[in-house]
């Protein structure tokens, strides 16, 4: 049984443009600054203890981001993202990619830093449900911690050689899957913008046989097939 797992927001769902659209009425001319600050603050809030729901993470991070860029938000305004969560758009190249992977005989799963009810609203935007979903609410942890990956491994019973993880975020997904020695496809939708912002080392050197970097969903099926066809597991 071959599995392909995905990060969701940023990989399958366009959270950046979606957040900008949802927050434009609050941020006005500072909307892009607000989204950028949110992106920087969210991992800090997720790392706080004790564990809090993703809806709380959304609201807390947005209020902190607002204060940082000079946009004061009320608690009600800070809940704008979770109230309109299903409005975040799926990237146009995603459904053909998922259909291609299913045609290859792959089972598909999502490993997401999201609450159960929020992802249920998101999943309605896809043509078919996923075979397995692992949320932060279920594992009570947030990526880049490897808890989602380990939970999926136990739940699916997948062998490492039959598992490819696909994600856009170097920080949240590619680094932890690399540490576990998994095959992975880096769907670099932002042209390494995230790497430049975090000064992370560049991936994809020739010595890393378990990583393929692509720029669009249209390249993912071929990348997954190439990784499956490599005989040796990465660990």
Chain segment 64-98, per-residue pLDDT in tens = 999 999 999 999 999 999 999 999 999 999 999 99
Q: Are residues 118 and 205 in the same domain?
A: yes
Q: Are residues 144 and 179 in the same domain?
A: yes
* First and final C-alpha spacing in the chain: 18
Is position 161 within any domain?
Answer: yes
Above 90 in pLDDT, residue 197? no
H and E: helices and strands count for the chain = 12, 6
Q: Are residues 33 and 103 in the same domain?
A: no
Task: Give phi and psi for 86, each to the nearest 5.
Answer: -70, -5
Last residue of a domain, one of 86, 105, 134: 86
pLDDT of residue 230: 75
**CATH code (residue 52):** 1.10.150
Q: Are residues 107 and 7 in the same domain?
A: yes
Q: Are residues 106 and 207 in the same domain?
A: yes
pLDDT of residue 191: 82
Report d(CA 232, CA 214) in Å as an integer: 22
Q: How many CB atoms lie within 10 A of CB 38?
A: 24
Q: What percent of the chain has pLDDT over 90?
A: 88
Q: Are residues 70 and 174 in the same domain?
A: no
Report d(CA 200, CA 31) in Å as an integer: 26
Q: What is the mean pLDDT of the chain?
A: 91
**Nearest alpha carbon to residue 158 among 202, 199, 106, 113:** 106
Q: Are residues 99 and 211 in the same domain?
A: yes
The number of residues in the chain equals 235
pLDDT of residue 205: 40
User: Total domain count for the chain?
Assistant: 2
CB 202 within 8 A of CB 221: no
Q: Are residues 140 and 193 in the same domain?
A: yes
Three-class secondary structure of residue 148 per DSSP:
helix
Tracing tokens 């600050």 back to the chain, one arrives at 37
Q: Are residues 123 and 196 in the same domain?
A: yes
Report d(CA 16, CA 206) in Å as an integer: 31
Q: Are residues 70 and 132 in the same domain?
A: no
What residue numbers bound the domain in which 106 lies? 3-14+88-228
Predicted confidence band at 193 (pLDDT cuts at 50, 70, 90)?
Answer: low
CB 5 within 8 A of CB 152: yes
Above 60 in pLDDT, residue 163? yes
Is position 183 within any domain?
Answer: yes
Q: Are residues 109 and 60 in the same domain?
A: no
Q: Are residues 207 and 160 in the same domain?
A: yes
CB 27 within 8 A of CB 33: yes
Task: Taking residues 53-59, report their average pLDDT.
Answer: 97
Is position 235 within any domain?
Answer: no
Tokens of 119: 């992802």
């Amino acid at each position: 049984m071959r599995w392909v797992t995905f990060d969701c927001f940023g990989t399958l769902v366009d959270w950046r443009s979606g957040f900008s659209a949802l927050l434009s009425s609050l941020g006005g001319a500072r909307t892009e600054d607000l989204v950028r600050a949110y992106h920087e603050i969210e991992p800090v809030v997720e790392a706080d203890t004790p564990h809090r729901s993703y809806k709380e993470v959304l609201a807390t991070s947005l209020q902190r981001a607002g204060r940082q860029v000079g946009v004061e938000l009320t608690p009600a305004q800070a809940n704008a993202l979770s109230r309109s969560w299903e409005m975040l758009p799926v990237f146009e190249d995603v459904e053909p990619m998922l259909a291609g992977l299913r045609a290859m005989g792959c089972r598909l799963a999502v490993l997401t830093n999201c609450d159960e009810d929020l992802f249920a609203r998101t999943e309605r935007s896809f043509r078919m449900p996923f075979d397995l979903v692992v949320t932060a609410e279920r594992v009570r942890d947030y990526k880049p911690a490897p808890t989602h990956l380990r939970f999926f491994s136990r739940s699916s019973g997948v062998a490492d050689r039959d598992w490819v993880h696909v994600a856009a975020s170097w920080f949240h997904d590619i680094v932890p899957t690399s540490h576990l020695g998994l095959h992975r496809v880096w769907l670099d939708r932002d042209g390494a913008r995230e790497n430049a912002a975090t000064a992370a080392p560049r991936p994809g050197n020739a010595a890393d046989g378990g990583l393929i970097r692509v720029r669009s969903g249209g390249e993912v099926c071929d990348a997954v097939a190439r990784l499956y066809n490599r005989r040796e597991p990465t660990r």
